Chain A
Amino acid sequence: MFIGYFTERPYQDPNSGYFGSAGRDVTDLGMSNESYDPRLGAELYNRYLDEKVYAEEMGFDGLMLNEHHSTPFCMGGVLNVEAAILARITKRAKIVLLGNVLPVWDDPLWLAEELAEIDMISRGRLVTGWVRGTGRESIAHNAQPPFNWERFQEAHDFIVKAWTTPGPFRWEGEHYNYRYVNPWSRPYQQPHPPIWVPGVMSRNTVAWAAQHHYPYVMLATELEPTRQSFEYYAQQAAGAGWEANTEHRGYLMKVHVDETEELAEATARKYVQGPSNPFLEGNQGNVRSFIQNLPGLTQRNNLLPTVTTYAAAAARGRLEQFQRATGQAVDRREGDYNGTFDEQIAKKSIITGTPETVIPKVREVLEYIRPGSVFFWDGDGAMTHEDSMRSLRLMGEEVIPAMREISKELDLKSPFERDPVTGKDLTQAPGTM
């Protein structure tokens, strides 16, 4: 099993007046960066890097980074910068990018070069991941949402070719055009770094990942839908004549470990406080659904069934779909984060406690989903550096060793133990070079 560590790197600023019960509303793309304090930013970036280094010391196999734009809930606006630093200041752990937002890159050759450099500086510890991004990313970098999926696929094909085909060559695509592709940096890992695909809900992306044998990492989704998505992945694989296994399944889960049950619960409640991450259920922020649901970002019919009788459109379920999409946002806006926290505990969306109580709960998740890779999402919301460090220490001392035993018992092999393409066992143990 491959065990990784993740945090969104929240911009925690109690003095801004935003983050807290008496503060100003936190609204999706509705806050000015006028409030941003670069000196605080400096402290936080360094804190999160320090925590990653400690996570490696405590035995994590992977250090996961993600990227969001124009928002305080994730400081990873340029995850490749953080990845490059980790490449130099860590020694053993994989640097797992989940991931670069391909469709917002107008120049994916530049991305291919950056990632190759990170792979070389880390001496082959880079795991690349590709995402389509939320509406926030399309707005922030002004990428046309109707072409999001096309650009995702073309940028992927282009980068893989730039990494694997000796240059120079020419690329005249639908969305990208180059007259001279010959990057003077190539990935350390050959033919190229591992590619993993994180996601939440897109069936297109699951099917696409399966077509490429790429491990699919479900991002903190609930257990049953997660299992169903992996079943869909497995069906796609079976349709193509191969069998998906644990190495194709990754799962990001919120886990906080602490010294006492009381301290664990008090600290875990901070997941849904602070800069109000909209991906953290029950958060205090407001999501503007029309930004997340940009035109064409998700697939719609090419032609309106009928424009003269709207009842027909409604009967085809399009109104319902829309209402469902916006209805969720309305519900979230009214969410009671304390109540939702308890619900999340009940359904194991958040796992917290001492090592003694956390380990059996993690085991239940592993038995149910059977992932070959897991990422612990911790240190988020309003959690402090001390909160994160206590949890990392206890994870390293007790939880990770227990997970190693459980994964052996359950035969949960990671992509570094069994090749996702060939299905053959690999000699390389997780987290080692």
Chain B
Amino acid sequence: MAAAAAAQTERSVVVAGRRVRALIGGSGPAAVVLHHSTGNPGWLPFHEELSTRFTTFAVDMPGYGQSERPEWAREPRDLAVMLNRATRAFGIARFVLVGLGFGGFVAAEMAALDASRIDQLVLVGAAGLQPREGEIADQMMMDYHEYVSAGFRDAERYEASYGHQAKELRELWEFSREMTARVTWKPYMFSRRLAPLLADVDSPALLVWGEADAIVPLDVARQYQEALPQAVLEVIPGAGHLVEMEEPSRVASLVRVPAVA
């Protein structure tokens, strides 16, 4: 899965006494990418596509991957506070913020706390708001295969993205979901304290959703669109929750280079 075309550098900064790591590649204005709750498997084709136009920071959120766990963290907002600081510590003045799934929840919290440095907020199949119909799929009540395959539009896409590294990704998932359970166990994957704070987020926002997202219902996208003053919704026909894995170049192409970097 990991593309090795371009060399990435690995950097860490310390925030609240905890190391936060990012893989960095490409050039241009900064794009910060926050991974799904399943953890970041590495430098993905989506990162590679973004890096043709952006200096792309694939950040391990605190408690995931190579970023140390803040034992005190109890909600995604705690991670958002740390990540806002981490972007400063990485020397990023302004940035495009891309959040994938649960990473989108954290990205929305970051914007709610401070949108002044965010040129564009891109939420891809983001959790964070309670669907008015249906539920956000509960990974705690499924096994790995059932959950991850539900993220793809079909078994073929799942096999192409995950099949050859199934054991390794399963281990990453097992590790990642402990942190997930620490910060979003109940309510699961949303906060009623998020939407009211989005009303003042004046950064342009792009909402990208797979039409066939079986993890986060499309209604969540519509609620984000209602809550964020400047939001555009792009629904990718036929795509699943992991739309940036299914169509990395298409999703990356939707991310706008800011007019003034």
Contacts and interface: CB of A to CB of B under 8 A. Distances in A.
Given A294-B140, A304-B175, A319 B69 contact: no
Interface in A297-328: 300, 302-304, 306-308, 310, 313-314, 318-319, 322
A145, A289, A300, A314: residue with the most chain B Cβ atoms closer than 10 Å: A145
A288 interface: yes
B181 A294 contact: yes
A319 B140 contact: no
Contacts of A369: none
Contacts of A318: 171
A300, A308, A319: residue with the most chain B Cβ atoms closer than 10 Å: A308
Interface string B135-164: 000001111100000000000000000000
A295 B172 contact: no
B200 interface: no
B93 to A, nearest CB: 28
Interface in A360-411: none
Given A144-B181, A144-B185, A290-B142, A303 B174 contact: no
A142 B181 contact: no
A358 interface: no
Q: How large is the interface on A (under 10, 10 to 19, 20 to 34, 35 or more residues)?
A: 20 to 34
A49 interface: no
Contacts of A181: none
B186 interface: yes
B178 A146 contact: yes
A70 to B, nearest CB: 12
Contacts of A291: 141
A22 B126 CA distance: 45
Interface string B179-214: 011100110000000000000000000000000000
B42 interface: yes
B42 to A, nearest CB: 6
Contact of B66 (A144, A288, A296, A304): A304
A310 B177 contact: no
A139 B185 CA distance: 10
Interface string B32-44: 0000000111100
B68 interface: yes
B99 interface: no
B114 interface: no
Q: How large is the interface on B (under 10, 10 to 19, 20 to 34, 35 or more residues)?
A: 20 to 34
Contacts of B143: 288-290
A145 B180 CA distance: 11
B8 to A, nearest CB: 10
Contacts of B174: 295, 322
Contact of A306 (B66, B71, B182, B185): B66
B132 interface: no
Nearest to A304: B175
B165, B167, B181: residue with the most chain A Cβ atoms closer than 10 Å: B181
Contacts of A314: 167-168, 171
Interface string B54-98: 000000100001101101000000000000000000000000000
Contacts of A289: 143
Nearest to B2: A308
Contacts of B69: 302-303
Given A139-B140, A307-B39, A322-B174, A295 B181 contact: yes
Nearest to A308: B42
7 contacts: A139-B140, A142-B186, A144-B181, A295-B181, A296-B178, A303-B68, A308-B42
Interface of A: 29, 139, 142, 144-147, 288-291, 294-296, 300, 302-304, 306-308, 310, 313-314, 318-319, 322
Interface of B: 39-42, 60, 65-66, 68-69, 71, 140-144, 165, 167-168, 170-172, 174-175, 177-178, 180-182, 185-186
Leading 8 A-B pairs by shortest Cβ distance: A310-B168, A295-B178, A307-B65, A296-B178, A295-B177, A144-B185, A290-B143, A295-B181
Given A303-B68, A314-B171, 10 more contacts: A29-B141, A145-B181, A146-B178, A290-B144, A295-B177, A302-B68, A304-B175, A313-B171, A314-B168, A322-B170
